Amino acid sequence: MTQPVMAMEEAVRPRIAKAAILVEQNAPLLIADIEIPPVDVGQVLVRVQCSGICGSQLNEISGRRGQDRFLPHLLGHEGAGRVVEVGPGVRKIKPGDQVVLHWMEGSGIESAPPIFRLDGTVINAGRVTTFSEYTVVSENRVTPIPHDINPGVACLLGCSVTTGLGIVIHEANVTPGQSLVVFGVGGIGLNVVQGADLVHADPIVAVDVDDRKLVQACAFGATHTVSVAQAETGLEARLKDLTEGAGFDVAVDTTGKREVFQLAYRVTGDAGKTVMAGVHDAQQPITIDAYPLHFGRRIIGSHGGATQPDSDIPRYLQLYRRKRLKLDEQITHRYSLDNVNEALEAVRRGEAVRCVLKMA
């Protein structure tokens, strides 16, 4: 049997909830009321309070990886909210718990995806979605957090913060004194900078087309910044000069652009690591000189920073409480769910570092 709802404000189980739905690629999201299904084995009903917007949502809308076979479907994979109800078998959390919703797998049951409906039409969803007032997610996609953490901040731990820090800590294994350059200092890139600063990398170089983001990168630990628009000499030569020609120990591309990744690879040192964090266009193959790979250079395809939600999220929150980790400072734009299409445009134009949706 499902456990009873604990919080007074959620004493009545919702039948419908407002959601943003991807109905057609390269078109605005539809805002509509969807039917909330009953929780099944291993599922959790969550009242979503806030959700972040990631580049992944832009990629889904634009079809960056090809035609979407699951339309119509829900979106969003980093959020924060309160548990309303849990299904059979769920042991990790209980009704009333405050949680982070994340796309990387944690402990618990990997449930079947929920089936939402709109006027009888099935609205597809994965094991976590967050662009809705209520959502049903798999137990292994939620992690409990203290009740006093602001949900607008907590939602960032669902992807951007954990991915950026995880690239540094788990995937690239950056050690003190190693050099690092990151191309693109939006949500993930800014946390790559912050993670590099936490482990005392040096130098930490931020590269971007937006000078405002470069100024913010300095506040998060960048020792050098390079503006693509203002590079007086060739960008590649300028970057190599910062390592006295040796190349970087770690180069991270968060942009997903073919030419940027190829540049990141060229400025990586002989025994260095090039991390592919951005999702690349399926129609634009990458060309590199593979010869250095025979002598120690490595390419790493990031998968969520190899995040381990059950241990990483509590640890990062401890750093946040001790003012060692900047979270509030990352949020530059806030929108309501009704204005999600305006929010997506702000992210698409590159104006937002992190954009947060607040649910009604």
Q: In the chain, where does the domain assigned CATH 3.90.180.10 lie?
A: 8-158+327-358
* 318, 297 contact by CB (below 8 A): no
Segment-wise mean pLDDT, segments of 10 residues, the chain, 360 residues: 42 86 96 97 98 91 82 96 98 97 98 96 96 98 97 97 98 98 96 98 96 95 91 82 96 95 96 93 87 96 97 98 97 96 93 90
* 300, 268 contact by CB (below 8 A): no
What does the alpha-carbon distance between residue 273 and residue 293 come to, in Å, rounded to a whole number?
Answer: 10
pLDDT at 281: 79
| Helix and strand counts by DSSP (H, E) for the chain | 9, 18
Q: In the chain, where does the domain assigned CATH 3.40.50.720 lie?
A: 162-303
pLDDT at 350: 84
pLDDT at 149: 97
Q: Detail the DSSP E strand segments found in the chain.
A: 16-22, 30-35, 43-52, 73-74, 79-86, 98-101, 116-118, 121-123, 134-138, 142-145, 180-183, 204-208, 224-227, 248-253, 268-276, 298-301, 331-336, 354-358
Fold that domain 162-303 belongs to in CATH: Rossmann fold (3.40.50)
What does the alpha-carbon distance between residue 201 and residue 221 come to, in Å, rounded to a whole number?
Answer: 10
- Helix or strand or coil: residue 103? coil
What does the alpha-carbon distance between residue 165 and residue 157 come to, in Å, rounded to a whole number?
Answer: 10
* 166, 312 contact by CB (below 8 A): yes
Fold that domain 8-158+327-358 belongs to in CATH: Quinone Oxidoreductase; Chain A, domain 1 (3.90.180)
pLDDT at 9: 45
pLDDT at 196: 98
What does the alpha-carbon distance between residue 352 and residue 347 come to, in Å, rounded to a whole number?
Answer: 5
Provide the pairing of β-strand 248-253 with 268-276.
parallel
DSSP state at residue 170: I
